[in-house]
Chain A
C-alpha cells in the first residue's frame, strides 16, 4: 500500500482536512491534542523524516505546520495544527519522539510564545538573553 493510503488508514477520522495541491505536496489538519501520536506514527512507524515546523500568526490563531518528508517518493507531508487560544497557546512537544525537533520547538516557543509541554530543554535558542520577556517577534502585534 502506498504511504499516502497508509497514513489515511492509520489516522482515520483524526484527519480533519486533506489537500493535495500538487503531486508531491500533501497538507492535512489535525487537532492539536493528537500531535504527539501523529508524530510518533509518521516518524517511528512509517519512517518519514522530520524537516522542520513553521509557526505562523494568523487571524484564526497561532498555526504550526509540521513538515515531514517521505524521501523515497520526494513527498512533503505538512501537518497543520491551529492553536486558537492566543493568551496561553500550548501543545505537546514532539521532541520526546525524536531529538531533531528540539531546536525548532525552542525557536517557535521564543518567537511566537507557544508552550511545548514536556519539552526536555525549553530555553531560548536565537533571541538574546536580554530580549524582553513576553515580547514575541513573530506575533503580529510585535512592532518591528
Chain B
C-alpha cells in the first residue's frame, strides 16, 4: 500500500492543545491502515528539566498536561523520594492522605471530561453537558483544597505544599455526596440506553493479547482484562490504608472502557471520603535538603494509566537526566490495531476511547486507498459518527 500523501489540514493553532494527526487509509467504509503522527506539541521538557533544580522540576512537569496535571509532579517526587528510601520514609502521614485526595479528585475530573466527549462524538450532547456540569463541583473541590482549578502546585519532594483546612472537610464531603447520584445517572445510561450500547458495544476492540503486545496501561488495559493498577501493585500515598477495588472489564471494546471508567468514579469517591475521615493531624512536609546520587523510579496510576518518571542523580542539585513516559505514549500507539478493521464512522470514537486529549481527533483525515486523495477531515468524521447514532435511533440501521 502506498503511503505517499500526507497533507495535514488546518493551521496548528496555539489554542489547540495536544495536536496529534491520525491518517486513516480506507477501502470503502473500512479502515485498512492508520498512520499516527505526533510531535507537534513536543516542548523538550526532559532536556529542560536537566537545567532546573530539584524543587523547580515539579512546576515544570506539572505543565506537561493540564488534565492529569498532578500525575506528573507526583510521579516525579516519587522518583526523587525513591532515591531517599521511598515515599513512606520521607513523607509525613498527613501529607500521604492529601496526596491521595488530589490524585483521586483528578481521576474523577479527567474521567468526566472523557465521558462528556464520548457523548459528544456519538451525538449525545446531553451526556456531554451532564458530564461537564458535574465536573464543575469537582473543580470547585480542587479550588478549595489547592487554591487552583488546574495545575495545583501541591507536590514537593518530602510532602505537599498546602494543608486541607478542617473547616473545608464537611463542605468537601457534602459535595461528594451530591456528586454520587450523577455517577448512577451515567451508569444507568450506559446500561439501559440501547442506542448508546449499540454504538459502543463491539466497537474498537483491543483483545487481551493485543493489549499485552502494545503494552497499554490504565483503563485501556483494564478494559481488556489485564489486571494492572499501580495504586495496588506498587502502592503510594495513603492507598494501602483504604478500602477500594480495582475495576476490570473483559471485552476490550469501547463499552468496556466506558463502564470501567464510570465504575472507577465510585471507587474514587470512596477513597476520597475515607481519606477525609481518616486523615491524621500533623506535619505536611519533611523539609528534604539533599538528594543523594543514584537512580530513582516513580510510578503513579494517572487517569490514563501508568505514568513513570526515571531520574538519574549525580549528587548535585539538578537531575542529570529525567525520563518521562506518560500513559498515552503507549495507549495512542495501540490505535494502530484498535481502529484498523472498523468502519470510518466509528474511527473518531475508537481513537478517542483510549483517552488522549481530544483535539487530536480534529486532526483526522481520510484518504482514499485507490486515489490517495483526502476525502474527509476530522469534523466530517465526528459528524459521520453522530449520524450513525441518529440512524440507529430512527431504526434505519
Contacts and interface: CB of A to CB of B under 8 A. Distances in A.
A69 B215 CA distance: 10
Contacts of B227: 71
Contacts of B329: 52, 103-104
Interface in B47-83: 47-48, 51, 82
A114 B153 CA distance: 36
B336 A65 contact: no
Nearest to B299: A76
Interface of A is mostly: mixed
A121 to B, nearest CB: 10
Contact of A99 (B39, B213, B321): B213
Contact of A138 (B47, B308, B312): B47
A134 B330 CA distance: 27
B85 interface: yes
A51 B325 contact: yes
B20 to A, nearest CB: 11
A125 B38 CA distance: 6
A98 interface: yes
A141 B110 CA distance: 40
Interface string B315-327: 0000011010100
A137 B86 CA distance: 32
B310 A65 contact: yes
Contact of B82 (A25, A52, A54, A124): A25
Contact of A144 (B47, B306, B310): B47
A61 interface: no
Contacts of A137: 44, 47
Nearest to A47: B212
Interface residues of B, number: 38
Contacts of A55: 323
A125 B230 CA distance: 27
A49 B85 contact: no
A101 B310 CA distance: 17
A22 B84 CA distance: 10
A82 to B, nearest CB: 14
A116 interface: no
A71 B233 contact: yes
26 contacts: A21-B294, A21-B295, A24-B234, A25-B82, A27-B295, A52-B323, A54-B310, A54-B323, A56-B321, A56-B323, A67-B297, A67-B308, A67-B310, A71-B227, A74-B234, A74-B235, A76-B299, A98-B212, A100-B330, A100-B333, A102-B333, A103-B329, A103-B333, A128-B39, A138-B47, A144-B48
Interface of A: 21-22, 24-25, 27, 49-52, 54-56, 65, 67, 69, 71-74, 76, 78, 98-104, 124-128, 137-138, 144
Given A73-B233, A128-B39, A137-B47, 16 more contacts: A22-B82, A25-B82, A27-B295, A50-B215, A51-B308, A52-B325, A54-B310, A67-B297, A69-B306, A71-B233, A74-B234, A103-B333, A126-B38, A127-B39, A144-B44, A144-B48
9 pairs of A and B residues whose beta carbons are closest in the complex:
A100-B215, A74-B234, A54-B323, A126-B39, A52-B325, A74-B233, A126-B42, A56-B321, A71-B228
